[in-house]
Amino acid sequence: MSTTEELVDFDVALEKYDPVLGFEVHVELNTKTKMFSDAPNAFGDVPNTNVTPVDLGLPGVLPVVNKTAVEYSILIGLALNCKIAESCRFARKNYFYPDTPKNFQTSQYDEPIAYDGYIDIELEDGEVFRVEIERAHMEEDAGKLTHMGGSTGRIQGAEFSLVDYNRAGVPLVEIVTKPIVGAGKRAPELARAYVGAIREIVKNLNVSDAKMERGNVRCDANVSLMLKGADKFGTRSETKNVNSLRAVEHAVHFEIERHAAVLESGQKVVQETRHWHEDTRTTTSGRPKSDADDYRYFPEPDLVPVVTTPEWIEELRARLPEPPAERRKRLKAEWGYSDAEFRDVVNAGMTDLISDTIAAGATPAVARKWWMGVVSGLAKTQDVDAADLGVTPATIVELQGLIDSKKINDKIARQVLDFVLAGEGTPAAVVEKRNLAVVNDDSALGAAIDEAMAQMPDVVAKIQSGKVQAIGALIGPVMKATRGQADAARVREIVLEKLGM
């Protein structure tokens, strides 16, 4: 059960070995009802309330396939550039576990609904890496066990376990990649980007809530190492349920270092499942698993095959939204951002907010200035996600409007934003209430300017001798007298007027 004590440093490992990756990602579909019953598919309800005899596998029940779940599965297949089976069957995967009261999981085996696809994964620096998809098949989720009384929440050390069958029978699509070769040092980054891309795609299709923290998207990460230049893959480990993007990246990184240590010590990697531990960022041994694990799969006798017609598939294809990667390419061109600017926007998760702000009337440059500059800065100082600050595109457009009409300057606008976020109202209301409008009415400015000129006769003399840039020295005191609200350009004009220049 122990982890390998000594790891081989990641960079050292990759001088000698090439990593091979493979991902099995489970996506929970957000249909109204379950895969084979009319029980509600809902998260967070009172345990064991969304359960029918079908979900419990009681004698004599008959399952019925959820048509919407099939359509969602086909949409996922199409979005992953897969072929869609003309006909496919469900199969029984037989095993006993208390979270699966039927004693088998209804899944698909040799006839997945979608197969042979690919997605192009864009890494953070813009490099594109193609990941081939082996299959995407339909199945049902298991119930949820909660192990009580232990310190870890795992079954070991627990006193008793609770079972909630609300999740039993929730529709899943399992997406399995072909072995991914050639990622080298970028393997952990690719792992993260791949799972992120799947999450983005299913969210964009609106077929899943796609919340990893709720388990809507769950990843098993397979890793093996082979000597550089070898043509046969090494033995893989399968780290189960790594349920955040960060964890997927760390798990692959860790497994590469661990595999290298095992191989360097002359031992063999054991083909097994591994548990991921977020606290230590390590994995520990789970159960041995051979490729021939005998689940005694056989075709599900209670369900007819799912037959897809070309018309149905084309109808679904027409429903596909613009793919996220293509949308990004289009937006980058429309907005005229540089590669680096656009990448920063994407990595900051600001694409939608900026898009909405432009749609609300801002120019691309202004939208970028606010979100990437001002709002990101605020988020950093408050240590929250920029999207969670509560800044809306409408607020940004209104603030910029006040700047453009010279009601306020840039600096005041940032203060106004603070007051808006503190709940004081719209930008215009804040400016009004707090009397923040730029002072450019000449009488108010004139008095402050007279005062400053009286106190700095030397500066005045300099200006009169032709050194017009000396006016800068007067602007500070005038700003001070007007609480930063003077219009600097207008101050300059008035000074020159007063001096008859």
Alpha carbon distance 295, 305 (integer Å): 21
The pair of structure tokens assigned to 480 is: 């001070």
Sequence-ordered list of residues with C-beta below 8 angstroms from that of 226, at least 6 positions apart, any chain: 17, 18, 20, 232, 233, 234
Binding part of the chain for Mg ion, among 16-24, 256-264, 456-464, 493-501 by CB under 5 A, reads 16-24
419 binds, among ligand ADP, Mg ion, none (CB under 5 to 8 A by kind): none
Question: How near is the Cβ of 124 to Mg ion at its closest, in Å?
Answer: 28
CB closer to ligand ADP, 174 vs 398: 174
Written as one string, the DSSP assignment of 399-452 is HHHHHHTTSS-HHHHHHHHHHHHTT---HHHHHHHTT-S-B--HHHHHHHHHHH
Quick one: which of 374, 355, 444, 461 has its CA closest to 412? Answer: 374
Alpha carbon distance 234, 16 (integer Å): 13
Binding part of the chain for Mg ion, among 21-29, 69-77, 259-267, 295-303 by CB under 5 A, reads 21-29
Question: How near is the Cβ of 293 to ligand ADP at its closest, in Å?
Answer: 6
CB closer to ligand ADP, 41 vs 106: 106
Alpha carbon distance 344, 249 (integer Å): 20
CB closer to ligand ADP, 238 vs 249: 238
CB closer to Mg ion, 109 vs 342: 109
CB closer to Mg ion, 52 vs 106: 106
CB closer to Mg ion, 24 vs 200: 24
The residues that touch ligand ADP, with contacts defined as CB under 6 A, are: 20-24, 134, 176-179, 222-224, 233-234, 236, 238
24 is an interface residue for Mg ion by CB under 5 A: yes
177 binds, among Mg ion, ligand ADP, none (CB under 5 to 8 A by kind): ligand ADP
User: Which residue lies nearest ligand ADP, judged by its C-beta?
Assistant: 22
Q: How many residues bind Mg ion (CB under 5 A)?
A: 1
User: Which residue lies nearest Mg ion, judged by its C-beta?
Assistant: 24
Alpha carbon distance 436, 177 (integer Å): 58
Question: How near is the Cβ of 174 to ligand ADP at its closest, in Å?
Answer: 7
Question: How near is the Cβ of 24 to Mg ion at its closest, in Å?
Answer: 5
The partner residues of 144 in beta bridges, in order of sequence, read: 164
Sequence-ordered list of residues with C-beta below 8 angstroms from that of 185, at least 6 positions apart, any chain: 10, 11, 14
Q: Do 399 and 369 meet the contact criterion of CB atoms below 8 Å apart?
A: no
Question: How near is the Cβ of 245 to ligand ADP at its closest, in Å?
Answer: 18
The partner residues of 307 in beta bridges, in order of sequence, read: 87
Q: What residues line the site for Mg ion (CB under 5 A)?
A: 24
